[in-house]
Copies of this chain bind each other. A is one copy, B any other.
Amino acid sequence: MQSSGTDSSFSRILSREQNGVIQPILTDLYQITMAYAYWKSGKKDDRAVFDLYFRKNPFKGEFTVFAGLEECIKFLLKFCFTESDINYLRKVLPSNIESEFFDYLQQISTNDVRLYAIDEGTVVFPKVPLLTVEGPLPIVQLMETPLLNLVNYASLVATNGMRFRLAAGPEKILLEFGLRRAQGPDGALSASRYCYLGGFDGTSNVLAGKLYGIPVRGTHAHAFVTSYTDLLNISEETLMRKGTEEPVKFLPICKKWQKQLTGILGFLDDQVSNGELAAFISYASAFPDGFLALIDTYDVIKSGLPNFCTVALALHELGYEPRGIRLDSGDLSYLSNHVRSRFKKVAESLKLPWFGKLTIVASNDINEDTIHSLNQQGHEIDSFGIGTHLVTCQKQPALGGVYKVMGYKYKLHLFYNNNETTDGDALVDLMLQPDEQPPILNTRILCRHPFQESKRAYVCPAKMEQLHKLYWDNGELVQSLPTLTELRCKAIASLKSMRQDHKRALNPTPYKVSVSAKLYGFLHDLWLENAPIGELS
Contacts and interface: CB of A to CB of B under 8 A. Distances in A.
Interface size class of A (residues with CB under 8 A): 35 or more
Interface string A337-381: 000000000000000000000000001110000000000000000
One complex includes copies of this chain to the number of: 2
A273 interface: yes
B286 A33 contact: yes
A328 to B, nearest CB: 6
Interface stretch (A34-42, A255-263, A311-319): A34-42
A32 interface: yes
Nearest to A23: B207
A182 B296 CA distance: 36
A64 interface: no
Contacts of A514: none
Interface stretch (A423-431, A462-470, A476-484, A528-536): A528-536
A210 B286 CA distance: 48
B183 A153 contact: yes
Interface in A176-232: 177, 179-191, 204-207, 209-210, 216-224, 226-227
A298 interface: yes
A495 interface: no
A288 interface: yes
A158 interface: no
Contacts of A148: 180-181
A11 B141 CA distance: 37
A26 B177 contact: no
Contacts of A34: 220-221, 223-224
A365 B537 CA distance: 8
Contact of A286 (B28, B36, B149, B534): B36
Contact of A153 (B152, B182, B237): B182
A289 B97 CA distance: 12
Interface stretch (A111-119, A388-396, A446-454, A517-525): A388-396
A145 B184 contact: no
Contacts of A109: none
Interface stretch (A85-93, A166-174, A501-509): A85-93
A6 interface: no
A28 B205 contact: yes
Interface in A73-94: 84-85, 88-89, 91-92, 94
A266 interface: no
Interface string A274-313: 0000000011011111100000111100000000000000
A499 B48 CA distance: 55
Contacts of A363: 537
B287 A37 contact: yes
A60 interface: no
Contact of A184 (B153, B224, B365): B153
A29 B185 contact: no
A537 B364 contact: yes
A23 B233 CA distance: 32
B1 A206 contact: no
Contacts of A210: 25, 84-85, 88
A218 B153 contact: no
Interface stretch (A125-133, A399-407, A433-441): A399-407
A150 interface: yes
A235 to B, nearest CB: 11
Q: Which of A150, A185, A227, A297 has the most chain B CB atoms closer than 10 A to its own CB?
A: A185
A30 interface: yes
B207 A41 contact: no
Nearest to A141: B223
A282 B37 contact: yes
Contact of A536 (B223, B234, B283, B299): B223
B180 A1 contact: no
Interface of A: 1, 20, 22-23, 25-34, 36-38, 40-41, 43, 46, 48, 50, 84-85, 88-89, 91-92, 94, 96, 137, 141, 144-146, 148-150, 152-154, 157, 177, 179-191, 204-207, 209-210, 216-224, 226-227, 233-234, 237, 273, 282-283, 285-290, 296-299, 328-329, 363-365, 388, 392-394, 397-401, 404-405, 531-537
8 contacts: A22-B185, A37-B283, A94-B287, A96-B289, A184-B184, A184-B189, A223-B405, A329-B534
Leading 8 A-B pairs by shortest Cβ distance: A186-B186, A29-B218, A30-B218, A392-B397, A222-B536, A148-B180, A183-B183, A37-B286
